[in-house]
Amino acid sequence: MLKYLTAGESHGRALVALIEGIPAGLPLTADFIDKDLARRQLGFGRGGRMRIEKDRAQIISGVRHGLTIGSPISLLINNRDWENWSEKMAVEPVDTEFDRATRPRPGHADLTGLLKTDQKDVRNILERASARETAAKTALGAAAKRLLEELGVTIVSHVIGIGSARAPAAALPGPSDLDAVDGSPVRCFAAGAAEKMGAEIKAAAAEKDTVGGIFEVIAYGCPPGLGSYTSWDKRLNANLCQALAGIPAIKGVEIGAGFSLGERRGSAAHDEIEYRDSEGYRRTTNRAGGIEGGMSNGEPIVVRAAMKPIPTLGSGLQTVDVESKETVTAMSERSDICAVPAAAVIGEAAMALVLAQAALEKFGGDSLNEFLRNHRGYLDQIAGR
């Protein structure tokens, strides 16, 4: 019901994004999308590319006079660095010969992509495998967030660990805390831990190394019943895990208490249920992370993701030149020391797209009014049950 696609290379002319299924009548502007594009560029430890690009989205179709019209929405994000790559990344044939990139980086798509597609230049792989694509994903996620806002759903992210520095277990940041989180150099809600995380990044930079970490994404206001228990591909937890794992460099995803649940007995793993006249059914805890049986249960949806260190190192690791087969040092592209704060914002987009899809499946509607009317009818149906 909600389909989306991105296209474009890291140093190509532009990134293109397309989303279909947003109902007609939704207020949507480029300024709204640009706010998340700017947030994606936040964070201590970012590389030189962030000083070049100031991402802005152009809405090409699907919106008229500030309202969606029900047709596919297409977005364009120009790459300012294109002017330095216009010949090297030209679409049409050129007379100039360029040296091929032949020293694949360990941990990157370089070598496997080269073998998979039977090519000789690693650049043909790395340009699309680059995390630059996530700017387009963030723009699409902003459109999904705009739809979810109409349902009262808000998505917040924060960094809980960088390297060995970890924030203490504490209350989750709420929607009103987002500005405070974004104001932190590492997008951490715990000020004391933020300093330790910054020190981890500085230490990695001094050694021409990189560092990863862990971030958390929380959705507030989701009604119970998004997703389904009937089929594996309709389970909300499965789709969220896929979406978060689809972000470059993400190597682990957990929901709620996640992996720690495997160490507990059932009595300490599940969330007891109570009933309140003013709220209906509630859980006394939220170890399930807002999802039970593949469906949202009305509690905040909490997803955590682990990001590995970026594989482009200033010092370079050992690799093999794909032409000479000699042992060499891996190539180095302009890159970040740490991109965990940015990955958290991209995680918001990934979650928003999954939740918007689940909401559209549940409530349907070709117009925003129909969509919201169906949503209100459902809330009335479950009220007092």
Q: Is the pLDDT of residue 173 over 80?
A: yes
Of 3-12, 68-77, 166-175, 250-259, minimum mean pLDDT range = 166-175
Tell me the average pLDDT across 73-87. Answer: 94
pLDDT for 195-213, tens place per residue?
Answer: 999 999 999 999 999 999 9
Both tokens of residue 36? 């998340």
CA–CA separation, 255 and 345 (whole Å): 17
The stretches of 23-133 forming alpha helices (DSSP H) are: 30-40, 49-52, 110-117, 123-129
Q: How many CB atoms lie within 10 A of CB 242?
A: 13
Domains of the chain plus CATH, in order, are 3-94+103-382 (3.60.150.10)
Residue 364: C-alpha distances to residues 1, 95, 141, 177, 375 (Å) = 9, 53, 19, 31, 9
Average pLDDT, the chain: 94
For residue 51, the model assigns a pLDDT of: 56
What SS3 class is residue 294?
A: coil
The confidence score (pLDDT) of residue 362 equals 97
Going by DSSP bridges, is the β-strand pair 14-20/67-68 parallel, antiparallel, or unpaired? unpaired
What was the pLDDT predicted at 163? 96
Residue 219: predicted pLDDT: 98
Instruction: Please give the Cα distance from 385 to 363 (Å, whole number).
Output: 19
Instruction: Compare 332 and 7 and report the one with higher pLDDT.
Output: 7
pLDDT at 42 over 90: no
- Global pTM value: 0.95
Give yes or no for residue 48 having a pLDDT over 60.
no
**Confidence at residue 35, expressed as pLDDT on a 0 to 100 scale:** 96
> What pLDDT shows up at residue 257?
95
Render pLDDT for 235-266 as a digit per residue (tens, 0 to 9): 999 999 999 999 999 999 999 999 999 999 99
Supply the pLDDT for residue 332. 83
Tens digits of residue pLDDT in 271-287 = 999 998 888 899 999 99
The yes-or-no verdict on residue 310 having pLDDT over 70 is: yes
Higher pLDDT among residues 71 and 98, named by residue = 71
For β-strands 63-64 and 165-166, DSSP reports them as unpaired
CA distance 370 to 163: 47
On the question of pLDDT at 137 being above 80, the answer is yes
pLDDT in tens, 341-384: 999 999 999 999 999 999 999 999 999 999 999 999 999 999 87
DSSP state of 213: E
pLDDT above 90 covers what percent of the chain? 87
Q: What pLDDT does 192 receive?
A: 85
Cβ atoms within 10 A of the Cβ of 9, count?
Answer: 21
**Token representation of residue 233:** 């591909």
- Cβ atoms of residues 139 and 7 within 8 Å: no
DSSP labels, 154-182: EEEEEEEEETTEEPPS-PPP-GGGHHHHH
For residue 53, what pLDDT is reported? 60
